[in-house]
């Protein structure tokens, strides 16, 4: 197919009057001028990658905002979440993920890294198919059309010590041997689904030890030396304190000292880090997976983005608990948190790119591609055709020269400004809608009524 863009953000900057040739989902040529056989669109930018998702938590959004006399925290939220997920079936999990992935596509995410730890039946027993829940996520990806990087989670313990898992975690727990078999099964499953790949996610340092962490990484890397490895790290101060008490080191420092981090590792949150740890992440080439709306919702804290980017650190964004499913909002609050803590404006621009919006969008898209080990993140020959067509009516209401367009998109638009979405060379959103969104949303609404009854 051919696509003519009146204005497009390519890897080397804004261009006008460009025709893309797309074959087998990949951009094979970009030429200046109109090809009358091409479909014509307005303004095009790269699709965004969501580096961190717990799909089932989409159904939990709004259930945990009741106060308890100032005593609420991440840890009280987690107890409510455990109780909620104890009732979910495989079919329900697939429906929730399908609803979520359609919402992601409509808002501009074209790929998602699914940090998947809901493995077993409600009583903790194995399903007849060990990867039944994983298959449900692959099906949700297929039915929605989003690109999917599945990250089965290794969860062994409830805390440093190691402490035995608690009752709320029984659906997560695997031995190392069973987890490695699950990963093998997921890799085999991914061969049946297009635009998918598999990595792993050791849940956190409180949930794994050095032996199990090393074994899991070694196993997945026998299949793919570039397989993504994601881990929650230093999200809460309590986690840092517990790690110091157990290991005598802060979490990121322990990880840097005990594992060989590279560009295929993604450290999720890394909220509570010191200067040495921050520099260590940047130097290692690992990605910081930042989830601003969830980190704000859970009271986690603020990642030191300004200093990290000055050290040439790589970052990606994620919607995590899906209190918001909107890359624009994640980037907006990534910048706003820095403005609030530093009492400055336009903090995350630099001398090479004065536009905060463009700087953040392009960096996050490329960082997301790296975090999933996928051929996306920018629009150039040889890259997968994951792209967004912006709504000209929305754009016309704000500053929309090339200099200001992505600033207006990130900081000024008040409603969805995405008109069309292409994933792997296929339109999945047209006129702001998904072909299955009505039937899926109706089924999802019925499910929420049942879960909240």
pLDDT given for residue 400 in this prediction = 83
Rg (CA), the chain: 21
Query: Does the pLDDT at position 347 exceed 70?
Result: yes
pLDDT single digits (tens) 414-446: 889 999 999 999 999 999 999 999 999 999 999
Per residue in 82-119, pLDDT tens?
777 778 899 999 999 999 999 999 999 999 999 999 99
Per-residue pLDDT, 38:
96
CATH 1.10.1200.10 assigned to domain 48-372? The reply is no
Q: pLDDT digit string (tens) for 45-63?
A: 999 999 999 998 898 776 5
pTM reported for the whole predicted model: 0.95
Confidence of residue 74 (pLDDT cuts 50, 70, 90): low
Catalytic residue among 4, 119, 219, 269: 269
What digits encode the pLDDT tens for the residues 388-399? 999 999 888 888
Phi, psi of 382 (to 5 degrees): 100, -15
Cβ neighbours for 16, distance < 8 A, ≥ 6 positions apart:
6, 7, 8
Q: Are 239 and 204 in contact (CB under 8 A)?
A: yes
Buried b (16+ CB within 10 A) or exposed e, 290-324: bbbbbbbbbebbbbbbbebbeeebbbbbbbbbbbb
**Is 320 a residue of the active site?**
yes
Q: At what angle do helices 90-107 and 132-144 cross, to 10 degrees?
A: 30
Pick the closest to residue 389 from 357, 419, 409, 361 (CA basis).
Answer: 419
As assigned by CATH, the class of the 2-46+379-437 domain is mainly beta
If pLDDT is split at 50, 70 and 90, which confidence band does 450 have?
A: confident
pLDDT at 395: 86
Residue 47 burial by CB count (10 A; 0-12/13-18/19+): exposed, middle or buried? buried
Catalytic one of 185, 320, 407, 419: 320
User: How many other C-beta atoms lie within 10 A of the C-beta of residue 255?
Assistant: 26
What percentage of the chain reaches a pLDDT higher than 70? 95
Those residues whose C-beta lies under 8 Å from the C-beta of residue 227, and which sit 6 or more positions away, are: 197, 198, 199, 200, 220, 221, 264, 373
Q: Residue 73: its pLDDT value, please?
A: 57
Q: Rounded to an integer, what distance in angstroms lies between the CA atom of residue 335 and that of residue 306?
A: 9
All structural domains of the chain with their residue ranges: 2-46+379-437, 48-372
Other Cβ atoms closer than 10 A to 452: 10
What length does the chain have?
Answer: 453
Site of tokens 């797309």:
22
Query: What mean pLDDT do residues 123-141 have?
Result: 97
Query: Which residue(s) pair with 31 in the sheet?
Result: 19
Using the predicted structure, report yes or no on whether residue 201 has a pLDDT greater than 80: yes
CB 377 within 8 A of CB 147: no
Any catalytic annotation for residue 269? yes
DSSP 35: -
Digit-coded pLDDT (tens) for 292-315: 999 998 889 999 999 999 999 999
Secondary structure E strands in 93-146: 109-116
Q: Give the pair of three-digit tokens for residue 445.
A: 């609404």
């Amino acid at each position: 197919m051919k696509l003519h863009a009146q204005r497009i953000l390519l890897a080397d900057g804004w261009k006008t009057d460009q025709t893309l040739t797309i074959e087998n989902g990949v951009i094979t040529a970009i030429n200046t001028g109109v090809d009358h056989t091409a479909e014509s669109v307005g303004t095009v930018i790269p699709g965004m990658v969501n580096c961190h998702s717990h799909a089932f938590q989409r159904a939990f959004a709004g259930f945990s905002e009741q106060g308890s006399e100032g005593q609420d925290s991440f840890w009280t939220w987690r107890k409510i979440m455990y109780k909620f997920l104890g009732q979910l079936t495989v079919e329900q999990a697939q429906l929730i993920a399908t609803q979520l992935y359609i919402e992601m596509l409509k808002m501009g995410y074209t790929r998602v890294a699914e940090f998947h730890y809901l493995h077993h039946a409600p009583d903790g027993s194995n399903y007849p198919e060990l990867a039944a829940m994983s298959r449900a996520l692959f099906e949700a990806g297929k039915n929605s059309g989003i690109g999917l990087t599945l990250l089965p989670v290794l969860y062994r313990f409830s805390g440093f010590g190691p402490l035995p898992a608690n009752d709320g975690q029984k659906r997560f727990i695997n031995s190392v041997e069973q987890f490695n078999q699950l990963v093998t099964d997921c890799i085999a499953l991914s061969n049946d689904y297009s635009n998918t790949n598999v990595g792993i996610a050791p849940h956190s340092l409180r949930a794994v030890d050095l032996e199990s962490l090393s074994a899991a990484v070694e196993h997945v890397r026998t299949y793919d030396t570039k397989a993504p490895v994601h881990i929650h790290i230093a999200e809460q101060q309590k986690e840092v304190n517990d790690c110091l008490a157990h290991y005598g080191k802060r979490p990121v420092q322990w990880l840097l000292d005990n594992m060989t981090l590279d560009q295929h590792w993604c450290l999720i949150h890394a909220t509570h880090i010191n200067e040495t740890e921050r520099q260590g992440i940047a130097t290692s080439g690992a990605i910081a997976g930042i989830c601003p709306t969830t980190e704000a919702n859970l009271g986690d804290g603020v990642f030191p983005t300004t200093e990290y980017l000055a050290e040439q650190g790589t970052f990606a964004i994620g919607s995590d608990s899906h209190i918001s499913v909107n890359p624009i909002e994640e980037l907006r609050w990534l910048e706003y948190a820095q403005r609030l803590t530093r009492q400055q404006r336009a903090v995350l621009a630099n001398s090479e790119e004065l536009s905060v919006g463009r700087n953040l969008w392009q960096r996050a898209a490329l960082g997301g591609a790296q975090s999933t080990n996928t051929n996306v993140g920018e629009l150039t020959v040889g890259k997968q055709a994951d792209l967004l067509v912006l709504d000209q009516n929305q754009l016309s209401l704000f500053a929309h020269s090339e200099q200001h367009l992505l600033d207006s998109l990130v900081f000024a638009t008040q409603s969805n400004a995405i008109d069309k979405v292409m994933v792997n060379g296929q339109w999945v959103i047209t006129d702001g809608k998904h072909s299955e969104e009505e039937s899926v949303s109706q089924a999802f609404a019925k499910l929420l009524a049942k879960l909240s009854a």
